[in-house]
Amino acid sequence: MVGSNTTNASQEFLDTHQYSLNSILKYERIFGHNWVSTGGEKTTKEFCERLALKPGQRVLDVGCGTGGSAFYMAEKYGVSVHAVDLSSHMIVVAKQRLANTTKAVQEKVTFDIEDITKCSYPAESFDVIYSRDSILHIAEKEELFKSLRNILKPGGILFITDYCRGDQEHSPQFLEYVDSKGYDLRTVKEYGKVLESCGYHNVIAEDRTQNFISILAEELGRFEPTKDAFVKEFSIADYADIVD
């Protein structure tokens, strides 16, 4: 299996590699302020509409990044969001941003540094568990999804977007990249089967590759004209890293 790691990404690994403070601010320059996932607010808006969130519901945001989804759901839908991330840099930035939001949002959103694989919430705590592009860092997906199912209320929804792999032979370059990031990648079909094996019902495993490629192309189109300003703030190497 591609990227079939035996251990999950540690906080130290995340903070010193992919999610250094510099990397976080760099990602936001292409995905948008408060966003570190493809599509930023655009995809969040679509996904929240599909969830049909209602005021008063409780949402657990797993791998919350700098808080974009949590702020959006609290402000637009009036839900309470407990947002967690293993990266201490992400949570430091998110808390700084929270302090500058409205009082209404501050009353509905909390951020914590947390390893979701070791969570200990009471049973049936959340109406929705939401995660964007984060669980690829976790090898023990089966154990994680079983524990998350226990903290969902009856009829609750688990919603995930995540990077997956195609069902084919992969190039040495791809395998080297995945290994360097410490990712655990499954195919979309495998992901759906994992969820079903953990007791989830009405599982929809949807391949959004072409849609996300289109969104990335749009983001790149907006980002490339900002090259001079970006390089002045970061570096030409950082610019090349984003574009590549």
**Is the pLDDT confidence value at 15 over 70?**
no
**Is the pLDDT confidence value at 13 over 90?**
no
CATH architecture group of domain 11-206? 3-Layer(aba) Sandwich (3.40)
Work out whether the CA dihedral 83, 66, 35, 105 comes out positive or negative. Answer: positive
Q: What is the pTM of this model?
A: 0.90
Give the per-residue pLDDT at 181.
86
- Tokens 């790149």 locate to 220
Residue 139 — pLDDT band, cuts 50, 70, 90? very high
**3-class SS at 112?**
strand
Q: Give residue limits of the domains in the chain.
A: 11-206
Residue 22 — pLDDT band, cuts 50, 70, 90? confident
Per-chain mean pLDDT for the chain = 92
**Looking at per-residue confidence, does 181 or 57 come out higher?**
57
Average pLDDT over residues 63-79: 97
Q: In this structure, how many other beta carbons lie within 10 angstroms of the beta carbon of residue 134? A: 24
Give the per-residue pLDDT at 18.
64
Average pLDDT over residues 175-194: 93
Give the per-residue pLDDT at 20.
79
Average pLDDT over residues 158-170: 95
pLDDT over 70 percentage in the chain: 92
Distances (CA, A) of 107 to 44, 56, 60, 139, 230: 21, 12, 15, 34, 35
Residue 17 — pLDDT band, cuts 50, 70, 90? low
Task: List, for residues 90-137, the tens digit of each pLDDT value.
Answer: 999 999 999 999 999 999 999 999 999 998 899 999 999 999 999 999
Coarse DSSP helix, strand, coil percentages of the chain, rounded to the nearest 5 percent = 50, 15, 35
